[in-house]
Structure 1
Amino acid sequence: MTHETSSSTDKNVVDLTRKHRNKAVSRTVRSTRERLQSTHSGGPALSCDVLKAYIQSVLHSAAIIPFLALLVGGIGTYVSASPTLAIWTLFTLSIHALNVLLARKAARSEITPLTLGRWTRTLILSQCAMGVCWAMFSFQSCDTCSGDTFTFYKGAVLLVVLSVTAMSNILLRRAVLFAFIPTVMALVSLSLITRDPLQIGITAMFTTAMIFFIYVTDRLYQNSLSLTSFQSEKDDLIAELEVAKSMSDEARRRAEEANMAKSRFLASMSHELRTPLNAILGFSEVMANEVLGPLNNALYKEYSGDIHRSGQHLLNLINEILDLSRIEAGKYELNESAISLLELAEDCLGMVQLRARAKNISIGHQFEPHLPQVWADEKAVRQVVLNLLSNAVKFTPQGGEIMLKVGWTAGGGQYVAIRDNGPGIPEEEIPVVLSAFGQGSIAIKSAEQGTGLGLPIVQAILSKHGGEFKLKSKLRDGTEVIAILPSSRVLQSLPAISETPAVTPRKRQFA
């Protein structure tokens, strides 16, 4: 039962049932981009937002006009002792109450680009109705007032009302014009009827102020439109960034699950792949060496040698893939000991000499004498040097030269450098060569192709040692690779560990 559950879990590591998440995210991205494109300055969607903001502004400042009407009507009634101003106050308050109810209805309704024009015209007409009220106020008179006092009073009130109305109607275009056209017409009529110089001056002053406020409110409306547009774009961009982050998180999760599935596959297949390969290698070697007796056909012996070489090549490829998989999974552990980099380099040099002679390649060496030992994983470092030497032999043409150097670095570490006079690597292909499964154009054309994992494994092994890998190459100018171990790995540069009680637990641990 446990085995069946584990198998089911392995099969479902990559959850393909979550595709609906990607569809929902894609729909959100598309709708956000459409909104971004449609909410440019002056667009219908943006105008709807501005009109909604105006309606909220009307509701929030609903108490200003009643306060002014009551104040103006109360002072006028007290001064003139006439009931007409009281009647005017009640009429004005009624019209304002209807406007507030209309604004509340608009706030409850859904304003769309289709209903935008109708609501705009309705709200402008409501402002025009309030303008009629103030036009009626301009016709009021005071029989008990002396001189031009009441005329001054009306002019001051109309200018105050004009400024208050202009500031509260910034978000409704042409509201000031339509709201005070009736008032201007009333003042012009009074000027023509009375021909009073003071009345004419007040009319001219009010008309000039109205034109000025129309200009100012129009500019403020444009600025408000731009600010609203910027705010809307900022909100939409934030939403799109959140959606993109969600998509990135989903993609990362799926990549991690796929990587986990790959690691489990490689771990489970390592034994199954190596067991038959070992049998193939063993039996092919027995046949090639004629251990059980001579083969009657020489061609069979040649074929068995081909089988052995091909199997060995396949086993090396599998080992490289498994090594890289362990490194990526963080399960590659170092078995460190004191080793001599000089002796290790000489051993690796002897292992590739046969292949080098077959291609008539001369390998020179330059070793600094008396190099102290380093603290490292012998198998891993041997793999690094052998890999780099094998690459140099592989890509160096017939009759070429290879130089192997081992010595001190400027920082007190030790290095192994290998330089060949092969075709080199184009500079733009170096990042490709250093990536997993990456191969340059020269390697692709080569008859001895590999997996492209050699250099990534070299980098990973040196990184585990705290070292560094450098590759210098130019097309038709050869290649130089340098593997560096840090000074902390050189045993001579480290102080001896003192025998103190503090290290006693460590001795018991290794015992």
Structure 2
Amino acid sequence: MSNSVSTSTDKIIVDRTRAHRSKPVSKAVRATRERLQYSAQGAHVFDREMLSQHVRTVLQSALITPVVIVLVTMAGLAINQDTTLLTWGMLTLAVHALNLVLAKRVARTEFTTEEALRWRKWLLAGQIALGFCWALFALQKCDACGNTDGFYFYKVAALLVAISITAMTNFMLRQAALFSFIPTVLMLMMIAITSRNPLDYGLTAMVATALVLFYYISNRLYQSNLTLLSFQSEKDDLIAELEVANSMSDEARRRAEEANLAKSRFLASMSHELRTPLNAILGFSEVMNSEVLGPLANPTYKEYAGDIHRSGEHLLNLINEILDLSRIEAGRYDLNEEAMSLLEIAEDCIGMVQLRARTKNITIQQQFEPELPLVWVDEKSMRQVLLNLLSNAVKFTSQGGDVMVKVGWTAGGGQYVSIKDNGPGIPEEEIPVVLSAFGQGSIAIKSAEQGTGLGLPIVQAILAKHDGQFILKSKLREGTEVIAILPSTRVLQSLPAVEDAPQIERRRKSFA
């Protein structure tokens, strides 16, 4: 029962809820794209965001305008003692209060982009109404002031402050400052033409210049804020698309892992089914080739039987390597560990490849550290590692070449086996390919018989199961060196003292 549950649980490795979590992200991406595609109408793309920011700014600075109106009224009464200025102040405060009520209503309303245009017109109308109040202020006169310039200075200061506050608090509402104070400028212009007073001309010029300047500043602020919103929108779009891509990548990776795991399980479980017919083919073809049951009538049949036997052995080796790698990936490669001598394993493996080396006139040299302690390893696996590495060295070394095999201590107290040949070598950019499953170097393929490309991945996997390490060093046309390292935890005896063995220190530095 537990095995069936475990198997079913292992198969469900794809997070099915990921697709549900991706739906809100996909919806956000579509909404952002639609908004960016609406850019043909320019600034109207962000009307809703700009209007919302304008309302927040108006509500946050709600007390500034009333304070200015009260100060202007009090200063005017101190200069002129005209009650009409008090009426003006109350009227202006009332209009400002209506604008705040309108802003609060907009803030409480959930509006669309189309509705934002309507609310913008209402807010702009409120600002124009407030601008007419300042135009009424520009009509104020001071009969009791005589020919003094104090009242003109007072009006200039009040209007400049009003223009600056309106421009800074309403720059999100485009052209609000311009439309609000055009009536004021026109009113001052009419007064100047009627009175022909140079002071009135100067007052009109100063107010008009200030209006143009502050309109330019507010327009620049509006454009900067619009650009910032555009960048923010593009950033949100990119983040949303990245989330979708990441979700799809995770889903694809999980599905690939599921397929790879299913493949590994299938091949690992099919080991017996694949080997049994091949063993029969190999056995019967060997009997026919050896003519155990009598001579074959046709010599060609004997040649065919030999071809069948050789092809079957090649296919069996290929299947064995695939199954070994599949069992490792599926987690079914168990180690049968025992105390073994790495020196003895290396000597036995050298003896196995010695005959093949002699046929190519290759010399295998040995440099073994004497009296190495035993290591705790799986003997079959370590023999497979060394045979794969030695077979590769002999395979890719040309006629009359040399292979050097070293066994000794590592710098960390472990043991290593180094196999170095003087074959064609591997280009640096092809080393990751050679270390991958079914990967082969281009020069090696051309200069020697081809293999399956599974030897080195199996070596890496077996050493990883032993908590070891595999190192490959190669230079083009100079040769290749492979090093299989076992950690100090696998050594059953501590490392001899470095002071008593200077040669060990040199080897430690070479493999540090």
Give the AA of the match of 1:45: V
Give the AA of the match of 1:220: L
Instruction: Give the corresponding residue for 1:318.
Output: 319
Please list, as runs of the form range in 1=range in 2, the aligned pairs for 1:163-202 lying within 5 A after superposition. 163-195=164-196, 199=200, 202=203
Alignment CA distance shift 1:145-1:24 (3 Å)? closer
Alignment CA distance shift 1:257-1:43 (3 Å)? farther
Residues 207-252 of structure 1: CA deviation (Å, up to 9, x unaligned):
3433442243233333323433343333333323322322222122
Instruction: Give the corresponding residue for 2:362.
Output: 361
Give the AA of the match of 1:222: Q
The separation in 2 between residues aligned to 1:172 and 1:17, in whole angstroms, is 45
Instruction: Give the corresponding residue for 1:400.
Output: 401
The separation in 2 between residues aligned to 1:193 and 1:480, in whole angstroms, is 103
Residues 150-174 of structure 1: CA deviation (Å, up to 9, x unaligned):
7666555433422321221112333
Tell me the SS of whatever aligns to 2:476: coil
**Aligned-pair distance for 1:451?**
2.2
Tell me the SS of whatever aligns to 1:491: coil
- For the pair 1:220 / 2:221, whether they are aligned, the reply is yes
The separation in 1 between residues aligned to 2:136 and 2:435, in whole angstroms, is 87
Instruction: Give the corresponding residue for 2:490.
Output: 489
Instruction: Give the corresponding residue for 1:421.
Output: 422
Whether contact under 8 Å (2:405, 2:419) holds in the other structure is: yes
Residues 49-75 of structure 1: CA deviation (Å, up to 9, x unaligned):
334432554466567657766887799
Please list, as runs of the form range in 1=range in 2, the aligned pairs for 1:3-14 lying within 5 A after superposition. none
Instruction: Give the corresponding residue for 2:504.
Output: none
The separation in 2 between residues aligned to 1:83 and 1:14, in whole angstroms, is 79
Report the TM-score when normalising by structure 1: 0.79
Tell me the SS of whatever aligns to 1:338: strand
Residues 299-346 of structure 1: CA deviation (Å, up to 9, x unaligned):
333333332322222222222222222322333332221112222112
Whether contact under 8 Å (2:92, 2:130) holds in the other structure is: no
* Residue range with higher mean Cα deviation, 340-349 or 195-204: 195-204
- For the pair 1:300 / 2:301, whether they are aligned, the reply is yes
- For the pair 1:463 / 2:451, whether they are aligned, the reply is no
**Aligned-pair distance for 1:376?**
1.4
Alignment CA distance shift 1:29-1:90 (3 Å)? closer
Please list, as runs of the form range in 1=range in 2, the aligned pairs for 1:62-461 lying within 5 A after superposition. 82=83, 86=87, 89-90=90-91, 93=94, 97=98, 101=102, 109-111=111-113, 124=124, 126-141=126-141, 154-195=155-196, 199=200, 202-445=203-446, 448-461=449-462
* Residue range with higher mean Cα deviation, 53-62 or 221-230: 53-62
**Aligned-pair distance for 1:416?**
1.9
Tell me the SS of whatever aligns to 1:452: coil
Alignment CA distance shift 1:449-1:286 (3 Å)? same
Residues 189-217 of structure 1: CA deviation (Å, up to 9, x unaligned):
22343455665554444334334422432
**Aligned-pair distance for 1:456?**
1.0
* Residue range with higher mean Cα deviation, 341-350 or 418-427: 418-427
The separation in 1 between residues aligned to 2:376 and 2:28, in whole angstroms, is 56
**Aligned-pair distance for 1:389?**
1.2
Instruction: Give the corresponding residue for 1:477.
Output: 478
The separation in 2 between residues aligned to 1:30 and 1:444, in whole angstroms, is 51
**Aligned-pair distance for 1:255?**
1.9
Tell me the SS of whatever aligns to 2:484: strand
Give the AA of the match of 2:440: Q
Q: How many residues align?
A: 492
* Residue range with higher mean Cα deviation, 192-201 or 255-264: 192-201
Give the AA of the match of 1:138: A
Tell me the SS of whatever aligns to 2:365: strand
* Residue range with higher mean Cα deviation, 363-372 or 13-22: 13-22
**Aligned-pair distance for 1:39?**
7.2
Whether contact under 8 Å (2:416, 2:485) holds in the other structure is: yes
**Aligned-pair distance for 1:441?**
1.1
Whether contact under 8 Å (1:414, 1:486) holds in the other structure is: yes
Alignment CA distance shift 1:254-1:118 (3 Å)? same
The separation in 1 between residues aligned to 2:217 and 2:268, in whole angstroms, is 75
Instruction: Give the corresponding residue for 1:509.
Output: none
User: Which stretches in structure 2 are left out of the alignment for 5+ residues?
Assistant: 497-512
Tell me the SS of whatever aligns to 1:492: coil
Alignment CA distance shift 1:153-1:21 (3 Å)? closer
**Aligned-pair distance for 1:369?**
3.0
Residues 396-455 of structure 1: CA deviation (Å, up to 9, x unaligned):
233433332323334443322222232222221111001112111134446743321110
Give the AA of the match of 2:113: I
Instruction: Give the corresponding residue for 1:503.
Output: none
* Residue range with higher mean Cα deviation, 190-199 or 333-342: 190-199
**Aligned-pair distance for 1:122?**
7.0
Whether contact under 8 Å (2:13, 2:254) holds in the other structure is: no
Give the AA of the match of 2:424: P
The separation in 1 between residues aligned to 2:307 and 2:240, in whole angstroms, is 62
The separation in 2 between residues aligned to 1:110 and 1:6, in whole angstroms, is 53
User: Which stretches in structure 1 are left out of the alignment for 5+ residues?
Assistant: 496-511
**Aligned-pair distance for 1:183?**
0.6
Whether contact under 8 Å (2:426, 2:476) holds in the other structure is: yes
Whether contact under 8 Å (2:11, 2:258) holds in the other structure is: no
Tell me the SS of whatever aligns to 2:366: strand
The separation in 1 between residues aligned to 2:440 and 2:297, in whole angstroms, is 43
Alignment CA distance shift 1:43-1:295 (3 Å)? farther
Tell me the SS of whatever aligns to 2:339: strand
CA-based RMSD of the aligned residues comes to 4.3
Whether contact under 8 Å (1:285, 1:308) holds in the other structure is: yes
Report the TM-score when normalising by structure 2: 0.78
